[in-house]
Amino acid sequence: MFEVKKVLLVMFLLFAVRFMATVDAKEKRQWKFDLGSGELKNGYSLVLPETTYGEGIEYGLVCPDGVLKPDKCKGSNKLTGDCISSEEAFYFLLNIKEGRYKVTVTLGSNEKESCTTVRAESRRLMLENVKTAKGQTIKKTFIVDVRKPQINDSLRVRLKKREFGSKNWDDNLCLEFNGSNPSVSSIVIEEANDLPVIFLAGDSTVTDQNNEPWASWGQMLPRFLSSDVVVANHAQSGLTLISFKYQNRLKKIVSEMKAGDYLFVEFAHNDQKKGSCHVEPFTTYQDELRFFIDEARKKGGIPVLVTSTNRRRFDEKGNIINTLGDYPEAMRQLAKEEDIPLIDLNAMTKTLYEAYGVEESKRLFVHYPANTFPGQEKELADNTHFSTFGAYELAQCVVNSFQENYPDLKRLVNSDFKGFDPARPDSFSDFNWPLSPSVDLVKPDGN
């Protein structure tokens, strides 16, 4: 009897060891970095100004236009007693597999005040103008989607030419630290694949625009959401419902979708154009939308329809002219028929543009005089694609719709979001967007 008990005890201990090893393995799926020249905190990897990211390097820093400098170490805290700062934007990159990651950063400087904006991958806004006094540190957490074109061994997303080299599809997680004396003392990255996901399918008005001065509401959305959800923006410039499918982008989304995830769908700008991808509002357009809806539902996902943004075109009385025909109304009717959430961005942008008026509404779009950006010899005047300010305002329209209409989405909104009225929008003078180093003067596909 004693021998049996002994054997059982040994088996229990072996099971316990294996269980703890499994738990430890899960807990070890995180990366901890201590930035600065002070004493290294146990369990963290040291990142110095000279820890430069490059080919064959797992992690490191890139500072395109400035000089990285370590703050002097003060106090006994090994982690927050020192940091790395810069007078210009700088990047931290980590080679990592596809997935969702919770990122916790500690911001602030011992030597002077700091105001840090954090963007991820292709300029997705994560943290906005986090201010710290001299000697103060603040810890912030956000979620980043990291993806690659592969779907399975034989299938991959058909990327457009302009997407090659994009931070959205490469082999690393990229964080941009920008602002006035951006200062970082630690970065902790850990897997977060169990969180709900908001997948975005759309065109140039939704996508993560890679370069200044372009932007879209999808890349501003993470800033207004809590760390209980991740935004996976699969939209791309110039696409339609049909081409999005043809390029395997919907298959990519469906391959990753789990029950309770959301699929936001916004198309019409390019779908209304004549050609092989053209669809008619109340027939083939609705049919294609139903396909997206059905694919999401098969995986237990929740489809959400988003009516397309208005173009900036006014009549002589200062009212927005509808350039999208019956497509917005066709989507409204389909959402009602299918009993699914509708975010009527078309109606909200009409109100928004008219609130700013004919001239001031130019600030919402890429309207810049010549020589605003390096190498820009001609004026930029685009009435479809948004500036960073315009994209920011549209994202607030979307989030406000969460709060007012859909309790399940409302719970995912960041606690500092106090609502937004497109009839009483923000003043441009209050908007602070430190420019990213990357600039492209070529208009995105689509119009």
Confidence of residue 56 (pLDDT cuts 50, 70, 90): confident
How much is the pLDDT for 65? 82
Same fold, 27-193 and 195-430: no
Lookup: tokens for 154: 């034989």
pLDDT by residue (tens digit) across 80-136?
788 999 999 999 999 999 999 999 999 999 889 999 999 999 999 999 999 999 999
Confidence of residue 280 (pLDDT cuts 50, 70, 90): very high
pLDDT by residue (tens digit) across 321-334?
999 999 999 999 99
How much is the pLDDT for 67? 86
Q: How many whole angstroms separate alpha carbon 231 and alpha carbon 47?
A: 28
Of the candidates 38, 57, 55, the one whose C-alpha atom is nearest the C-alpha of residue 46 is: 38
The set of residues, in sequence order, having a beta carbon less than 8 Å from that of 185 and lying 6+ positions away, is 34, 35, 36, 79, 80, 81, 82, 83, 84, 106, 107, 108, 137
Domain 195-430 has CATH 3.40.50.1110: yes
- What are the E-state strand segments in 157-299? 172-180, 183-191, 197-202, 230-233, 262-266
Mean pLDDT of 375-393: 97
N residues, the chain = 447
Q: How many whole angstroms separate alpha carbon 362 and alpha carbon 381?
A: 9
Mean pLDDT of 318-322: 98
How much is the pLDDT for 333? 98
Going from the C-alpha of 393 to that of each of 275, 308, 363, 397, the distances in angstroms are 32, 15, 11, 7
Q: What are the domain boundaries of the chain? A: 27-193, 195-430
Mean pLDDT of 346-369: 98
pLDDT by residue (tens digit) across 401-410?
999 999 999 9
Residues paired with residue 174 on neighbouring β-strands, in sequence order:
93
Residue appearing with tokens 């999208």: 324
Confidence of residue 23 (pLDDT cuts 50, 70, 90): very low
Confidence of residue 69 (pLDDT cuts 50, 70, 90): confident
Domain 27-193 has CATH 2.60.120.430: yes
How much is the pLDDT for 15? 45
In the chain, the percentage of residues whose pLDDT exceeds 90 is 86
Q: How many whole angstroms separate alpha carbon 438 and alpha carbon 420?
A: 30
197 SS3 class: strand
